Amino acid sequence: MKYTAICGAVITTLLWTLSCKEEPAKLSTIPINEVTIGFDKASYEVDYLAEITINPTLKIQLDAADTFSYEWKIIAGNSEDIIGREAILKDTIRTKPGNYTLVFTVTNKKTQVRNYKKTPIVVRGAVYNGYYVTSNKEGKGTVSFLRTDGILYHALEKTFARKAYETEVLRVSTAIVKNLRVVFVATKDNVYRYHADDFELQADKDVIFTEPLTPQGDFMHSMNFVKGTTSNYPLDIFFINGGKLYANTGPNFVPSAISYSVAIAADQPYELFPLVLTNRNFSSIIYDNKTRKFLSLPYNTREFSPLINHIANVFDVTNVGLTAYAADYAENGDGWFFMKSDKNEHFLVKIAQFVAAIGKGKQALSLADYPELERASSFSARADKALLYYAVDNKIYLFDPNRGRATLVYTFSAGSKIVKLRVHKSKFWEPIQLPEYNKKIIVAVNEGSAGSIYQLDLKDDGGIDSRNILHHTGFGKITDIDYRNPNN
């Protein structure tokens, strides 16, 4: 009976509990004052250090009297860069060139509810495809950049690198292929290395070189490389300065050293001409004006090796016996060297690349057929035809070795002096062949202490079409120009 009473009490309590179930609460909701964001483009592109303006559309769903805060930021991976805090974005882009995501966030100050919209943004290098121009004014050097679309930037050392030069600038030399993207500027007392995408200062000569160096007039940067069907890769990279060679390794296969080597064979009386070629074994081929022959530097070595004259060579590359005074990369990537003997006999010497028999040609040049050749100050060859241009004072001559003559094709105003001319063509290590290559020539001209850059159209036969001349001014006395090819 006791057991029955306990069970009854439990059941009674359970039923009472169930019968006392609470009525469901009546829930109320408060509408959220959301914002719908719209952009005028699906994606954006902007040059580095250029101003971007974006005026988004903001559709407030409920109370337009609410107040909001705004944030614009550029995101790449785990990093972000806030570039604006107003509804309308208007800012100078200082994010390094690259591909990013742009995020615009609108926050309701009362409810803290956030709405956002994101879109791709590409920050282009402002100094991406065009010509570096070095010039001097009142004893101080500066670097300008003339893009192929005509946009001109002055004083890159101040606006981009934020470090002015204290002395005059001598030379500029670029090297852009695969992971190698550098620009070197030589002043009278220093050498500076910049990143090619944004002209950010990376190092000076105390880091670049392991021994004291004073820049000379032949200062240049060059390389040998692996030639592929779609890509080229730098192997050894070099400086030539004062007839001496300084070496490093390209960054694609093994990391480059922080500094370049000491001058190779500095204890020997070499006087190397500033043009580097590559043979079939990927050795660097360089001409020495002291011994008057071509030398070989095998890949990743720091000592010259004797060349063996191939049986198929047109001439003996180990005993040329001439002095080189000009050279350029020409048709088919050949190296064209202008050389002369002690008797003032002039020759065009052709060196082929990526083959065993590099001695391709040796052609005697009669000065009667090539006016003022011995006075020429700048040379530049076309890469699509066996033609070359050389400058004498204010004149441009077309050099045609197949016809055995040179002809005057353009004359600038009296008092002008051509500093350097360059056919607009690919750098010899560049795998990309743009459609505009070999159709224009870029000419740096000084008139007194003021410099100008001219862009002239080339005819198919090599002549110059003077109907459409682009003229850019605002330079000091120009000392050098060099082409900055696109990344590849």
For 428-458, the pLDDT digits (tens) are 888 888 999 999 999 999 999 999 999 999 9
Range in 11-20, 40-49, 70-79, 267-276 the model is least confident about: 11-20
Q: State yes or no: pLDDT of 184 exceeds 90.
A: yes
Which CATH code of 2.60.40.10, 3.30.460.10, 1.10.287.70, 1.10.357.10 fits the domain covering 35-124? 2.60.40.10
At residue 14 the predicted structure's pLDDT band, cuts being 50, 70 and 90, is very low
Structure confidence at residue 224 (pLDDT): 86
User: For residue 378, how many C-alpha atoms fall within 13 Å in the half-sphere facing its CB?
Assistant: 22
Mean pLDDT value of segment 449-473:
96
Burial of 53 (0-12, 13-18, 19+ CB in 10 A): exposed
Q: State yes or no: pLDDT of 26 exceeds 70.
A: no
Mean pLDDT value of segment 387-407:
99
Structure confidence at residue 313 (pLDDT): 98
Structure confidence at residue 433 (pLDDT): 86
Range in 2-16, 57-71, 243-257, 321-335 the model is least confident about: 2-16
CA dihedral (366, 372, 378, 379) positive or negative? negative
At residue 29 the predicted structure's pLDDT band, cuts being 50, 70 and 90, is low
Structure confidence at residue 3 (pLDDT): 43
Range in 25-29, 49-53, 308-312, 367-371 the model is least confident about: 25-29
At residue 5 the predicted structure's pLDDT band, cuts being 50, 70 and 90, is very low
Tokens of 479: 């000392």
Q: State yes or no: pLDDT of 477 exceeds 70.
A: yes
User: For residue 234, how many C-alpha atoms fall within 13 Å in the half-sphere facing its CB?
Assistant: 29
Per DSSP, helices labelled H in 205-316 are 205-208
Q: Considering the chain, what percentage of its residues have pLDDT values greater than 90?
A: 73
Q: State yes or no: pLDDT of 254 exceeds 80.
A: no
**CA angle at 429 for the pair 425 and 433, rounded to the nearest 5°:** 45
> What's the whole-number average pLDDT of the chain?
91
Which residue type is seen at 59?
Answer: K
Q: Considering the chain, what percentage of its residues have pLDDT values greater than 70?
A: 93
Q: In what order do the strands lie in the sheet with 140-147?
A: 152-153, 140-147, 130-137, 477-484
At residue 38 the predicted structure's pLDDT band, cuts being 50, 70 and 90, is very high
217/230 Cα distance (integer angstroms): 34
**pTM for this predicted structure:** 0.84
